[in-house]
Amino acid sequence: MLVLNEVRSGYASAPALHGVNLTITPGSRSVVLGRNGAGKSTLLKTIVGHLPLMSGRIELNGHAVDRLAPHERCRRGLAYVPQGRQIFGSLTVRANLEAGGYGAGLRRVQQAVDDVLDELPLLRTKLRDRGDSLSGGQQQILALGRALMTQPKTLLLDEPSEGIQPSLVTEIGDIVVRLNQDRGITVIMVEQNLDFAATVGDKAHIMEKGTIACSMPTSDFVADLALQHRFMGVGVAAD
Ligand SMILES: Nc1ncnc2c1ncn2[C@@H]1O[C@H](COP(=O)(O)OP(=O)(O)OP(=O)(O)O)[C@@H](O)[C@H]1O
Ligand SMILES: [Mg+2]
């Protein structure tokens, strides 16, 4: 169970989360939705420890993790795929995967690479290629593979469909759902693409101005154009 209680965080110049309360149950698939600048990326960065907490509490399975360094949170089962992928373009695909293992202090890195390649066979054919020679979608799968190196229990993904061709968006969705169903990995995915979000996440958490404005089954949000208009600026306003 991941529990955020009155979480405030952000940047030196400006706080961006203003009291987030959120509970994520093990084995669930959640999506975080909201307009540009609502605080979605800040939320993920705060959970994994790339941004310090200003106040509040983050608990993972009953233990506070909000003072732990990112690699210590990783050891407790959190893994993160950042917005824009942030792979190492000048390194090979293999080296990118290895970086995910060494960065987390993993000992059996080659075994972990083999396990990731079994899960994501597309990467096996690209192992010697430079990261920046891959298409956007392939880079996203590489970033996912890098995150899987530590065998996470909870996977946080920030806009994995951004700038990616539709066929690979579908493939990434299939992979994420499979990881959840077959391996029991809890999924927390930030998205702007509502159709894609609905295929991956059962539960939607809607962010507005640095807080969670409401949570509901994703299907309810998809069916409600007035809510979409209000919180994402899409669809039409209801009278
Ligand atoms: N590095 C930064 N320094 C200062 N302020 C930032 C920084 N990154 C984001 N912000 C601000 O924090 C707020 C939340 O940004 P955040 O990136 O979390 O939004 P988001 O919901 O992920 O948006 P998007 O959909 O565009 O990715 C915004 O007001 C943004 O301008
Ligand atoms: Mg973002």
CA–centroid distance, 40 to ligand 2, in Å, is 5
Q: Which region holds residue 20: left if phi is over 0, alpha if psi is between -120 and 50, else beta?
A: beta
Question: Domain ranges in the chain?
Answer: 2-86+154-232
Per-residue pLDDT reduced to its tens digit, 193-222: 999 999 999 999 999 999 999 999 999 999
Q: Is the CB of 48 under 6 A from ligand 1?
A: no
Return the ligand number nearest the Cα of 14.
1
User: What is this structure's pTM?
Assistant: 0.95
pLDDT for residue 173: 97
Pair of tokens at residue 119: 């899960």
19 or 235, which is more confident: 19
pLDDT for residue 236: 58
Complete edge-to-edge strand list for the sheet that includes strand 211-217: 78-81, 154-158, 186-190, 29-33, 203-208, 211-217
pLDDT at 235 over 70: no
Per-residue pLDDT reduced to its tens digit, 149-161: 999 999 999 999 9
Query: CA-based diameter of the chain, in Å?
Result: 59
User: Which pLDDT band holds residue 239 (cuts at 50, 70, 90)?
Assistant: very low
Q: Contact 33/194 with Cβ under 8 angstroms?
A: yes
Per-residue pLDDT reduced to its tens digit, 44-82: 999 999 999 999 999 999 999 999 999 999 999 999 999
pLDDT at 237 over 60: no
Could you say which DSSP state residue 202 is in? S
Per-residue pLDDT reduced to its tens digit, 162-194: 999 999 999 999 999 999 999 999 999 999 999
The minimum-distance atom of ligand 1 relative to the CA of 42 is 18
Picking from 83, 79, 71, the residue whose alpha carbon sits closest to that of residue 2 is 79
pLDDT for residue 106: 80
Domain 2-86+154-232 is found in CATH 3.40.190.10: no
pLDDT at 133 over 80: yes
pLDDT for residue 26: 97
Q: Is the CB of 233 under 6 A from ligand 1?
A: no
Q: Is the CB of 38 under 6 A from ligand 1?
A: yes
First to last CA, the chain: 39
Minimal-distance CA residue to ligand 1 atom 5: 11
Per-residue pLDDT reduced to its tens digit, 85-111: 999 999 999 999 999 998 777 889 999
Per-residue pLDDT reduced to its tens digit, 23-52: 999 999 999 999 999 999 999 999 999 999
